[in-house]
Amino acid sequence: MAVTALALVRLRNLFAVVMLAGMFSLLAAVLYVVLDAVDVAFTEAAVGAGITTVLMLGTLALTTSEEKAAPRKILAPLLLVVATGAVLIYGTMDMPRYGDPNAPIHRHVAPYYLERTGPDTGLPNVVTAVLASYRGYDTLGEVAVIFTAAVGVLILIGRSRRPRKKRQPADKKKAAQ
């Protein structure tokens, strides 16, 4: 995955960049399955790898598929990035270890949901239960965000000469499920 990301930095053909970004998303989905997040993996594969790639390809069709020159100012961004990364790595020193069952994140409200989901909702899938039942309002807000984005996209490019872009909101509504 890191290799894919690094290849993305070097490539200048934007078509290849978009395809690699899709691959990157799929690799992320595989990683989520390994980390027990099957629902997230579904969504990432469908939305991240699927719809994002389609949107990017649409944009490429409307603009250009070749990046101009390689960036000239390399040193300053690189230094900034390395410095930020070093600070962040220093910050991880106090984080709970990977897979530690006693990490604070697992001791607060998570056991409540794991215990109550079965009796409360009758759903076996805790992620779905929390998403649609306990935190249904969050999903409502999410739909509002997507609607706003769809309206924004339509305002920005809806009246342009190319009506193809009007398909976008329909795609995103599906993603909201």
Residues between 98 and 127 with contacts to other proteins, criterion CB under 8 A:
98-101, 103, 105-106, 109-110, 113-114, 117-118, 124-127
From candidates 30, 160, 163, 167, binder to other proteins by CB under 8 A: 160
Q: Which of 131, 130, 104, 99 is nearest to 115 (CA)?
A: 130
Q: Is 153 in the site for other proteins (CB under 8 A)?
A: yes
What's the min distance (Å) between Cβ of 7 and other proteins?
Answer: 10
Q: Is 19 exposed, middle or buried (0-12, 13-18, 19+ CB in 10 A)?
A: middle
What's the min distance (Å) between Cβ of 163 and other proteins?
Answer: 13
Nearer to other proteins, 1 or 163 (CB): 1
Q: Which of residues 16-75 bind other proteins (CB under 8 A)?
A: 17-18, 21, 24-25, 28, 31-32, 35-40, 43-44, 47-48, 51-52, 55-56, 58-60, 62-64, 67-68, 71, 73-74
What's the min distance (Å) between Cβ of 118 and other proteins?
Answer: 5
Q: Which of 29, 31, 13, 24 is nearest to 53 (CA)?
A: 24
What's the min distance (Å) between Cβ of 16 and other proteins?
Answer: 11
Which residues, other chains included, contact 170 with Cβ-Cβ below 8 Å and sequence gap of 6+? none
Are the C-beta atoms of residues 135 and 121 closer than 8 Å to each other? no
Long-range (24+ apart) CB contacts under 8 A made by 92-99 are: none
Give the integer Cα–Cα distance in Å for 49 and 21: 8
What's the min distance (Å) between Cβ of 156 and other proteins?
Answer: 4
